[in-house]
Amino acid sequence: MYAALFCMNQGLRPYQEDCILINGEVFQKNIMNCPEERQIEDTQAVFAVCDGVGGLSAGDEASRFVCQRLKDRLSFSVKGVVDGLHSIQKEFEKDGPVWSGTTVAGVLLKGRNALVFNAGDSRVYKYTPDGLIYLSHDHSYVQELVDRGLILPEEAFYHPSKNILEFGIGDAFSDLWAEGKRPFVKKDFLNEDEAYLISTDGLHDYMPDSEIHYYLYPDPFENFGRLISQLEKVKSDNYAIVLVRA
């Protein structure tokens, strides 16, 4: 069984381009009565967020397109997740909105075993009592600077180019897929005192990781509302956040 809390808001944007998947249920609301909660009794479940890419067309359609297809496309292996996302990419190129794209980040859980995945700069964190662990890996210009050792991870939060995206799902990224670029996927295990936090950049662009952990500590499910209240004070972009525990 899994428990999930989630919230989304359009921020200061004119409409919502983020989308949330809670194991088959898809949510895309300008304003949500937060937090919403679901109990999932399946032994396997998928939770994800998508963020339509700014500057391209139909970001809301793009994020919804991907969320609607995730549950039935992913099988529980690294290859199964990569192949599932690739199949969604190919369908997007055929039937999705034109010159569009979206990020995706999520967790496929089977018991306490997990596959963490992302394409773009939406993220998966693991909440632990000792801190927030960044599990996914941004496909962004600033993350590339970090990977090359040109800036420190702590500097990425303040970098003026942190909004430059380098990968995602959609026809806008077709050339990169054709060249062999693929989503990030890694195995993980969720302990009893831990939880996954899945978010679009409307959270982590406005609140450093240490601050996110501060507002969730010591019980992330009890303090999820406190995190949202603080985010409301600094929000600008759309945001979509999911908190999951086994």
Per-residue pLDDT of the chain (246 residues; tens, 9 = 90+): 999 999 999 999 999 999 999 999 999 999 999 999 999 999 999 999 999 998 899 999 999 999 999 999 999 999 999 999 999 999 999 999 999 999 999 999 999 999 999 999 999 999 999 999 999 999 999 999 999 999 999 899 999 999 999 999 999 999 999 999 999 999 999 999 999 999 999 999 999 999 999 999 999 999 999 999 999 999 999 999 999 999
What is the domain-level CATH number for residue 30?
A: 3.60.40.10
- How buried is residue 149: exposed, middle or buried, by Cβ count under 10 Å (0-12/13-18/19+)? exposed
Give pLDDT, residue 55. Answer: 85
Instruction: Kindly provide the residue ranges of all beta strands, DSSP E only, lying in 76-149, ordered along the sequence.
Output: 102-110, 113-119, 123-128, 131-134
Q: Is the dihedral of CA 181, 158, 7, 14 positive or negative?
A: negative
Q: Which residue's structure tokens are 């499910």? A: 221
pTM: 0.97
Domain range for 238? 2-245
Give pLDDT, residue 118. Answer: 98
Q: Count structural domains, the chain.
A: 1
Give pLDDT, residue 164. Answer: 95
Give pLDDT, residue 54. Answer: 87
Give pLDDT, residue 229. Answer: 97
Sheet bearing 113-119, strands edge to edge: 25-27, 18-22, 44-52, 102-110, 113-119, 184-189
